[in-house]
Amino acid sequence: MAIVNVTPDSFSDGGRFIDVGEAVDHGFACIRDGASILDIGGESTRPGAEPVTAAQEQDRVLPVIEKLARDTDALISVDTYRAETARLAIAAGAHLINDVYGLRHDAEMAHVVSESGAGICIMYTARGRDDHRADIIEDELMFFGQSLDMAKAAGIKDDAVVLDPGFGFVQRREQESELMARCGELHSLGFPLLIGTSRKRFVGAIAARDVATERDFATAATTAMLRLAGASIFRVHNVAGNLDAMRMADAVIDAGRAVEQAGEN
């Protein structure tokens, strides 16, 4: 999943693709590099970012979605927590809603997804909550359980759901590494996992890289590790480098399966 930020203030590439044509060209470039999903966002979710109105968000993302949906075979995702933006994006050609508040910000979001038949990425977040559990996995399981209940009540089918553990949105920075180490425990929920570690602040802190664009090698390392832990989708800025990391991890996975099968025979 390639990140296409149509924003002036995203932490890594803010302002680079604010023009519709530049954003569309970037989407094409990501497809050439190997992306099969394009995630279009019109509002930065970095800490301290200026909020935008629904109209501003829609003015940014809808023309990009329309052009990419018309001219590519890629799946189109829209990064939004607003039900009205989601509804308009789906009408413009989006296939997937990527909700950083896990269906909790807008009470209509689950119904929009259900009625449209679109896919939904439910992301975990610790932001704006007062019911945290101390253990990161226990907190994620509680959060996802509640959001999945909302999805089920709205009629969203299980095969339309993916879960994002919310790297960068946890309570404390030390939980980021623990979440990487224990991410496989989330498979108990029975849904594919989407990973968003790309160029994030905690990656920079671990790798001693203050500049976001210099964090691609460290990001690729997280991609390989979390692929080995069973994650399915990776939301990234640098498609080619992370695809290489995935291929290396997949080779190890395939080799392990071959050994297991040989032993069973």
- 67 has catalytic annotation: no
Query: How buried is 33 (Cβ within 10 angstroms: 0-12 exposed, 13-18 middle, 19+ buried)?
Result: middle
96 touches 37 (CB < 8 A): yes
Which is catalytic among the residues 104, 200, 215, 227? 200
DSSP letter for each residue of the chain: -EEEE--S--TTTTTTT-SHHHHHHHHHHHHHHT-SEEEEESS--STTPPP--HHHHHHHHHHHHHHHHHH--SEEEEE-S-HHHHHHHHHHT--EEEETTTT-S-TTHHHHHHHHT-EEEEE---TT-S---SSHHHHHHHHHHHHHHHHHHHT--GGGEEEE--TT-SSSTHHHHHHHHHGGGGGGG-S-BEE--TT-HHHHHHHT--SGGG-HHHHHHHHHHHHHTT--EE-BS-HHHHHHHHHHHHHHHHHHHHHHHHHH-
Nearest alpha carbon to residue 78 among 62, 56, 102, 55: 62
CA 116, chain centre distance (Å): 20
Catalytic residues: 200, 235
